Amino acid sequence: MDFQFSDEQRMIIKLVRDFAAKEIAPTVQQRDEAEVFDRTIVDKLGELGLMGIFFPEEYGGGGGDYLSYILTNEELSRVDDSIACSYAASVSLCAWPIFAYGTEEQKQTYLVPLAEGTKLGAFGLTEPNAGTDSAGQQSHAEKKDGYYLLNGSKCFITNGGEADIYVVFAMTDKAKGTKGISAFVLEKGMPGFTFGKKEHKMGIHGSQTMELVFQDVKVPEKNLLGQEGKGFKIAMTSLDGGRIGVAAQALGIGQAALDAAVKYSKERVQFGKPICKFQGVSFMLADMATRLDAARLLIYRAACLKGAGLPFSKEAAMAKMYASDAAMSIATDAVQILGGYGYIREYDVERLMRNAKITQIYEGTNQVQKMVISGALLQ
């Protein structure tokens, strides 16, 4: 097993790290406090070729590998998980299903601008009474003459209101349960497609989360993604990959928290010596670093499996579950090491702890990941 990055991957790490330090870090605290999503940052990611990093060049992508996308997510999250969240929602949850299931016309119309970074994407599955239970969703699309009439709503949608292109799921045959779900590609501005309330969240304040509302939206039949009734498969395969992205976000958060804790412990002097010299602190740092590296290996394994076209659902669930739990634990310990300073907003670990929590929740809570893992073991 080769644990070395390729020259191209090292170049991408440096590119993203330098970009994040220059373009993201100076405003991260202000954007977090104001709860503002800065579209220009994501636009610049597009200019660097990162929005289509692992898609073929013929569709506006960079032709890179999937691990490079995960490394990008990790590096962005070390500085601002809000930007990484918006980035991942567009690349992994919107562009990827269009690439994997779309017609050639859909790829040219929607994937190309998403991969080039001239348009932003979003993924609309969750509803108030239908999160993990996708069959319980109330959004429905009735087939008419040449179009589908879509009605319903979606909640907790990352990039909602900001995105230009949306992959949306709705019932086309309620009697069939999950086999009656279909996927559609919608564009912002379609008549009847509007936005509800903007959510105010515990963390990831710099990523916009908004409700989608559909009132008699005429969706052209050509905007059906994949086959009618195959939407559940499209959603689940998209979420499988999305879990690796969330795990990478957790990894970036955990790394940032560990770095902050190490730095502070070397500078903070108590009883005549830096607090890192006390075993109570140094042992905490050792545990934090070990959990972080274990998470990193799980994530890179899942990413390499996906990139190679091999089964990866169980490994993605393991990576997401372990990495998000590790990030929450590491961020909490970092706050503890900084003491009172860790509890105030002047120091990054307060924000990192808030952001870490969402990684345990979205793309399926960690209880869902355990269902996926145990299901694979017991089949």
If DSSP states are collapsed to H, E and C, what string results for 122-166?
EEECCECCECCCHHHCCCEEEECCCEEEEEEEEEEEECCCCCCEE
First-to-final CA distance of the chain: 28
Angle between helices 231-267 and 348-359 (to 10 degrees): 150
Q: Identify the residue whose tokens are 């990093």.
A: 53
Evaluate whether 220 touches 173 at the Cβ level (below 8 Å): no
Please state, in angstroms and rounded to a whole number, the distance separating the CA atoms of residues 49 and 115.
Answer: 8
Q: 13 Cβ partners below 8 Å, 6+ apart?
A: 5, 71, 75
Query: Which two three-digit tokens encode residue 210?
Result: 């908004």
127, 211, 315, 363: the catalytic one is 363
Question: Does the active-site annotation cover 199?
Answer: no
The set of catalytic residues is 363
